[in-house]
Amino acid sequence: MYELFFQNFNKKVALTQEEETLIKTYLTPKKLRKKQYLLQEGDVCKAFAFIEKGALKAYSVDDSGNEHIIQFGLEGWIISDLYSFLTGEPATYNIDAIEDAELVLISKSAHEELLQKFPKYETFTRMNITGAYLAMQKRLNSIISSPLEERYANFTALYPEIVQRVPQHMIAAYMGLTPETLSRIRRRISSK
């Protein structure tokens, strides 16, 4: 249990065995079945989740009932409504499982205590958020500057795992397109 979590932690900041044991007392495991919610819009996000296994998505739903996916999460990724987590405001995103999943939860109080007491945890946090920022900037840049065909090609090159494991209409929802448009783009690409 927590194998991947500590593997990732140690890759960023090396921990002693004692430190691992200490940190474990702050963690909570959670399993989620496919389609189950981790968080619903309107609730407060009380923990963020490190994904040990499975696939999740964070998304909003517009007035027409369409989903817009702000983030996918696979093994080794962290998923949450960070704004809600940090401020205590109601979440604007839903998070649910695309596949059965195993998570490691860190509650707000655990997070704050770890930040205060444990400098290595702050470094871990800083590196995580930095990585998330850079990934999102790449995505944003692609949206504002690349034609659609190129955007989809970039996406498949960067995240082949997601393309394999996630239905295409969700990838369309991630790219801000209708499923029909994505289907047509894929056909254009494959006919080359």
Residue whose CB is less far from a copy of itself, 21 or 66: 66
Select from 132, 131, 125, 181 the least CA-distant residue to 152.
181
Per the listing, tokens 């955007």 go with 151
CA atoms within 13 A on the CB side of 10: 11
In one letter, which amino acid is 37? Y
Q: Quick check: 183 binds DNA (CB under 7 A)? A: yes
Residue whose CB is less far from DNA, 103 or 185: 185
CA atoms within 13 A on the CB side of 101: 31
Per CB under 7 A, the segment of 15-23, 108-116, 119-127, 167-175 that binds DNA is 167-175
Q: Residues 168 to 187: which contact a copy of itself by CB under 8 A?
A: 173-176
Q: Number of residues in contact with DNA, rule: CB under 7 A? A: 17
Written as six digits, the tokens of 106 are 């860190």
Q: How far is the CB of 33 from DNA (least distance, A)?
A: 10
Q: Do residues 16 and 24 touch, judged by C-beta distance below 8 A?
A: no
Q: Quick check: 108 binds DNA (CB under 7 A)? A: no
Residue 28 neighbours by CB distance under 10 Å: 12
End-to-end CA distance of the chain, in Å? 46
Q: Do residues 57 and 51 touch, judged by C-beta distance below 8 A?
A: no
Q: Residues 80 to 99: which contact a copy of itself by CB under 8 A?
A: 82-83, 86, 92
123 contacts which partner out of DNA, a copy of itself, none, CB within 5 to 8 A by kind? a copy of itself
Residue whose CB is less far from DNA, 25 or 164: 164
Contact string (CB under 7 A) for DNA, positions 115-154, x = contact: --------------------------------xx------
